Structure 1
Amino acid sequence: MQNNRLLDIKNGYNFRELGGYKTIDGRHVKWNKILRSGELADLSEDDLGFLEKYGIKYDIDLRSDSERNKAADKLPGNAKLVANPIFNSGHDKTGADYAEQYKYDANRGKQNMILSYQSMVTSESAKQAFHKLFMTLLNNDGGAILFHCAQGKDRTGLSAAFLLFALGVDEETIKQDYLLSKDAMKPYIELKIKQFSKYGMNDALKQNLNNLYTVDESYFNAAMDTIKENYSTVDNFLHQFIGLSDNDIDKLKSLYLTD
């Protein structure tokens, strides 16, 4: 199978490989082992066939229960679903509710995104979910693992970042992987603006939709700054917040890095 960063999925958003990134000690993340993506609810038969051929063994769904119930994943082949919500509330509003919430203050979307990123590195639900994600990665005895949220950019973006940190990839490379979602999400933003137009589009709502459905360096930095304020280093965060031991990190490297 050809190694590509952005995967050829027609009925989904932001399906990407984490293989190929170089670690500080000169190794590389293995290809065809770890995928990150948006939700799998709308996948075509061709998309499912592509992922089955990829060898997906676990589909780790980081969305809330309400999100999963509204748009259940379609699973490729014999993949096992792992329900693992980082947040299990706050995703049950209607489109009209969201339009009303974001119609008046153009900065509200960006402010809420920054608060969300800070919560993902401090809340108990996120702590438990990241630990479960890593335990699934550690217990993988073969095949590929896919993890995702709704758009594959925020909950998924930080999950990918923490995994790459644990594997020994440098922070700048990790940030650039995170920021790849900016271009990947442009068609999705256009779709959301079109969908929300029925509620009465104005400049504030349009700006908020752009901020809510993209990624931004300020979001990533909000999480990293909070981690460093509370734990000094990301390595301490991986150990103390997520609960990884030195042996866990060594095993992750043996599973997901080239020799």
Structure 2
Amino acid sequence: MSAVDSPSKGEVEALDPEYVSRTLSSPPFVTIPGVFNVRDIGSLPITSDSARVTRPHYAYRAAEISAIEESGKVKLRTLGITTVFDLRSDAEMSKYSTPVPTIDGVQVLHTPVFSQKDYSPTNMARRFQMYASGKTEAFMVLYSEILDAGGEAYGTILRHVRDKPDEGFLFHCTAGKDRTGVIAAILLSLVGVDNETIAHDYSLTRVGREPFREAILKRLAQEPIFESNQDAALNMLSSRHETMLAFMQVLEEKYGGAEGYVKKYCGLTDEDLQTIRNHFIVAKSKV
């Protein structure tokens, strides 16, 4: 089995705490007390124009915000975030007792990728089994399912960019990796960020999840497949550069790229896409 087919040993081993602390205290990571794996997806280079980048301090990705602290709520408002898109299902929130929080001045919208049916015990057991393998091929099947189910949810996020360029937003699922990683890749690809940069952004979850490693393992241990298999749980949480590159290939070959996908599955038009680009691409700061 090649390194591309399965996660490397480094995916399941703990990272050096000093390295983690140093990385998390620097951009693109953002500190929001009670929330992990928060990143600003702005300031990324546009392939076709070296003088332009994705808009900073506008679009943020994260893991779930159910445990956000009061100071974290203040930080959201300070960042200019007016809307949070929660991609989790009702069944997921109920199972892990992680409800949508109430945050004054911030609208938290429940925009699930999967329906209740998709989160049936049978379907979840199958997904966990595939994720636990850590194989790129398994992730491609699962990410295709996310694409097939996520058109409405992802369209809601993209329309925010189209309609509310002055209102910052954050989108998240549970770990901030799969459903979150897919829409981040779509948005970045739509505006002209190259695949290598998109894959690097995806891979940063490896560091972003680390402070909450034990809490994540404890939650996953509730699932029979992970109860006595910590490596399988960490395989599920792997976020390898190569996985996202493989996904971008699937997105291109099976769905016509990000543009083809959002037109067919999200109902967006060429005019919508141009407006999204106009709102999310800015001149690179000279500072």
TM-score, normalised on structure 2? 0.75
Contact 2:131–2:235 (Cα < 8 Å) also in 1: no
Q: CA RMSD of the aligned region, Å?
A: 3.0
Question: Residues 198 and 251 of structure 1: is their aligned pair in 2 closer, same or farther, counting only changes over 3 Å?
Answer: closer
Task: Return the letter of the residue paired with 1:242.
Answer: C
- Alignment partner of 1:187 out of 193, 211, 214: 211
Task: State how far apart, in whole Å, the 2-side matches of 1:41 and 1:117 are.
Answer: 24
Contact 2:66/2:99 (CA < 8 Å) preserved in 1? Answer: yes
In 2, Cα distance between equivalents of 1:157 and 1:196? 20
> What's the CA shift string for 1:152-211, capped at 9, x where partnerless?
111111111111111111111111011111111123333333556688998972121011
State the 1:52 CA deviation: 1.1
Gaps of 5+ in 2: 1-24
Q: 1:20-31 counterparts in 2 under 5 A?
A: 20-24=43-47, 25-26=49-50, 27-31=52-56
1:197-242 CA-partner distances (Å, limit 9, x unpaired): 6889989721210111231345424432322332454433343343
Match of 1:120 among 138, 146, 149: 146
**8 Å CA contact retained: 2:86, 2:173:** yes
**TM alignment of 1:1-259, pairs within 5 A:** 4-24=27-47, 25-26=49-50, 27-69=52-94, 70-89=97-116, 91=119, 108=133, 110=135, 113-121=139-147, 123=148, 125-194=149-218, 205-259=229-283
User: For residues 202 and 129 of structure 1, what CA distance do their matches in structure 2 show?
Assistant: 29
| Structure 1 residue 3, shift from structure 2 partner | 8.5
CA contact (8 A) 1:14 1:38 kept: yes
Q: Deviation at 1:37? A: 0.6
Contact 2:226 2:233 in 1 (8 A): no
What count of residue pairs does the alignment treat as equivalent? 249
Instruction: Measure how far apart 1:142 and its partner are.
Output: 2.1
Q: Distance in 2 between matches of 1:142 and 1:179?
A: 28
Gaps of 5+ in 1: none
What is the TM-score of this pair, normalised by structure 1? 0.82
